[in-house]
Chain A
């Protein structure tokens, strides 16, 4: 099982960024997926979840209305579209595989991609 995030970088406050997570080693379309972030030197913060077929999403209050999770099962890819970015969104962003089609504990994690929001 491999999950590889990409798309991180430096963005100005108010800007947008799209993260991608390409997976391999399991049947992507059969599992829900999560995004979790970790600000520098801080703990883990769950952001969002999407069901295996994209039929349902859930968001943390801190990102609801600004971030959108999506997936392309034909490309084995998970996305996180981030807009109206704030300095407090600076963090390493991890994608993680859910243990089932629905929300479940994340059992495999990517290495993360760093997003820095700064002018």
Chain B
């Protein structure tokens, strides 16, 4: 199984400041079709997960442009350019390149 490791596990951030979350996979996420199926999800308190980013860097419908994704191979990053109060929650990376689909442990974003 592909192990997804996120850092940090907790990230206190000041409103208006940037935030960054890293995700590393135990093996390359490049699929045989050439795509890299690395996604980022947001889970606000008491809510279901919500897709933010797919295939490393594509923002899903309705996702603000302050969210961006980057990376390649086994190392990926989610960045929030200016954190807003509504961004509080837990962020997960996930890979769907290979079964079983696996998630990172989650990173809790909180406001200082």
Contacts and interface: CB of A to CB of B under 8 A. Distances in A.
Contacts of A34: 101
Contact of B51 (A44, A45, A58, A106): A106
A44 B49 CA distance: 9
A104 B96 contact: yes
B76 interface: no
Given A44-B49, A44-B92, A107 B60 contact: yes
B99 A103 contact: yes
Interface of A is mostly: strand
B96 A103 contact: yes
B105 interface: yes
B51 to A, nearest CB: 5
A111 interface: yes
Nearest to B54: A105
Most buried by A among B92, B101, B106: B101
A23 B84 CA distance: 32
